[in-house]
Structure 1
Amino acid sequence: RRAATLKPFDNLTLTGQNNRAKKIAKSVHAIFDQTAIKSCHLEDKPILKSIEFDIKDQPFHISMGEENVEDMKHKVRATVQACDRGQIARDGYRTLALVNHNLPREWRVSSERKEITCEINKLIPISLVNLTSPLSNNDYINSEVHIDDAEIIDNMQQSIGKGGRRSIIDILKYLIPNLVKREVLCMTHPEIYLRISGDGRNVGKKVKHVMITFSILNDKNKLHQPENHYTTTLYPGIEKYEILNIVLEHLIVELRKLKEEGLEDNHGVKWKINLYFSSDWKFLVICLGMNAANSKYFCPWCEVSKEQQGDFSYNWTISKTMDQICENYKIYKGHIQLPLFDMIPLQNWVPDELHMMLRITDVLWRLVLDEIRSRNTWGDKARNVIIEEMKRIGVKFHFWLEVGSTNWQFTSLMGQDKLTVLQHFDLNKLFP
């Protein structure tokens, strides 16, 4: 009988190529077993886990034996977590998995992500909120884009007119066991300090969204990590009192309940809840039902006016109270609406330190330039001194003339650069 002639690998179908690779792997596995019997002790239990080889420059990686389901699930879940933290998209991960065969296949990762999502949705369901006055796509053009991911932009555009919310009580019940395990919370002193925050972001050129989050102040070491800020509300739109009043209705009810009754966790432990609010000034005064920050009566805590803010003879203290504002907000000038978070004492409303620092730095830097102009020393020499000093402290900074104008423009400093200028810029070189 004539022996069967093997076809060249390139002439095989994809199924045929895979079958040939499996046949080779099976033969290698058999040889391994025979060699292991001769070369190893019975108690050694050698195991061939995988075989990797190339045929015509086409790589094959074949796993041998039965897969450990628990180990694989743990590995896939860890991969999902890594992709989420590193913001690795599906296509990007698929490419990585092709390069490294030790990584779980992309379909496994996607399947596990869906399973995790289903599990979390059962524990912390997401509800939709209809906005009565949705923001039109064409109402605003964002001057600065914070998020430019095409998938996120598309999702946000499709969700115009709807917001999403999660129960802060559900989230807390989910978080408490791990916080107790990490000794962030103590069951013998069941007290939780919650900070409510919010801000708007630009998604693409024409869409804005607003996010309301909370963090647990007890977790001091991880307070500034993004993953420890938990989203309760998200909607496409702008920071506006009327919209927030609709979207935050459920959260406001929950916060009142937490303030008055505390929180009973899944183990029956009753936790006392202390509430705080912190955001940039704009969002803070909106939630307090006040005029804008540049209005005549701008202070959330006292009755100082614009004309009085430079008068240090006054002893300005927190003279307002939340109870008085809720009873009749019109008794305080500058208040035009009822506060949204009326369950949070006024002394617990704190403007965000970063935004305060950024604004103060802007004012101080403008005063420096105004002082140079007032001394009639504003010229190439002064500008060169500033540029050289910025180079010395490692800050990129430039001056330039506007086209068709005599006005000098300069680089807008970012947060870390502003801090560096505050700490290290030598003003003696400008004002000897």
Structure 2
Amino acid sequence: MAGTTVRVLIAETTFSNCVFIHDYPRSSKIEAHFQSNERLYISYYNIISLGTYPSTPKLTQKSKNNASQYPIPDDYIVETEFSERSLICKTKYISVSKVVCYTINWKIGHAEWSVSSTQSSTAVVNTFLQKINSTKSSGPQLFGFDIEPLYHAYITSCSQQNKRFNSFGRDVQKAVDELIVKHKLTNLSGEPILYLQHIGFDCKKNQVCINFKDLNSITIQTKLDAIVHVCDEALLSRDGYRHLAADVPSLFCEYLKILINLIVIIYNSDERASDALVNNYKVGNGLIGDILHIKLGGDGRKEKYETLDKVGKIFALQLADLKENGIIDDDGIHWPIKFYFSGDWKFTYIILGLNAPNSEYFYLFCECDAKSRHNMDLFWMPTGNTKGGKRASLFPVIDLLNYISDELHILLWISDILMECLFRDLFKKNDFEQNFKEKIEKK
């Protein structure tokens, strides 16, 4: 195989239990090694079309032997082999019903055969196996949905495409600024009397909206306030607005947006998060080239490791690239990146892949056990909790000591414990229960 062969052990990322040998995308050939009952199985794939992943792709069905689910791309075409037959496997989303049509094509002599199903990849594979009188096979594996390098290749291509859109947007803004001057759309001081806010266009099957933010403009905050007001008046939920914004690119949304210049979450000296534009002079209260402190967190709406794991994989490569390389702006200035995470205890231990707080090894930062947590004479180094870890951390780019517990939740929990201890001691006194308990409860 030409080029450098990259071996990826997918079992470590829970994406699949296969080992893939590939040089994708420089080579479309992928070899998969799968071991079962001490027997090695090898599959070969030729990726004809990577296709695209919708914003909310369909997932493969869970099987009895494998709880993993894989995203299904649209317009995906792969050539593979099974039972000494060359197969062409395809996927196609039916846009109206958002159902996936799975198709398998093969030849017997000069005759061409084809089977399709909108039920699942396993269903169409079972129909195919009945046609050739062969043994059972997995739908996701035959189609190659479990090939993680393909998924990462698509995510990487999307990132590169966004960079091209960003560059395109800057050129558009420069051209519009020149047109404003040319057509004398300025005031007596020579300042523009209009500003380019956003442009939208179709790119293949996707709608792209490029938003332009002016440093001196307050129109964005005004629009955001208006949107919040309308949502409150009409009782429009956040999820409902998200669905609407996904179909109407001119509406403000918190994802799938490209901002001209760089928008980051930073901290000012008053410890409040704020949006700041990276320009040629400063970032918030920092100086040129200062470290950008970016905090990740969650609102606790989806506190399930498997769900968060799928989301984390989408931007894992981008986070690793930002941590390693930082950001270099148009003036060649390098901005290092430092990541933090903050959340309540439950959300944090899920992100770190640790056991629950009521387990023996419960702590986020060290291996203090439940029996020793009251011993103030012991000292535990914050080197991590390997004994309490049961899954991989979802944000390996974040250093351990940069996981910051939410102060409010800690304060409330400590207060509850102290109040409980206080009343437990008071209840030991008979006169308290007789004379004061009822008064305090009423109060």
Q: Same fold (TM over 0.5)?
A: no
The structure with higher relative contact order (CA 8 Å, sep 6+) is 1
Normalized per residue, the structure richer in strand is 2
More helix by share: 1
Q: What TM-score do the two structures reach when normalised by structure 1?
A: 0.43
Given the two structures, how large is their TM-score scaled by the length of structure 2? 0.42
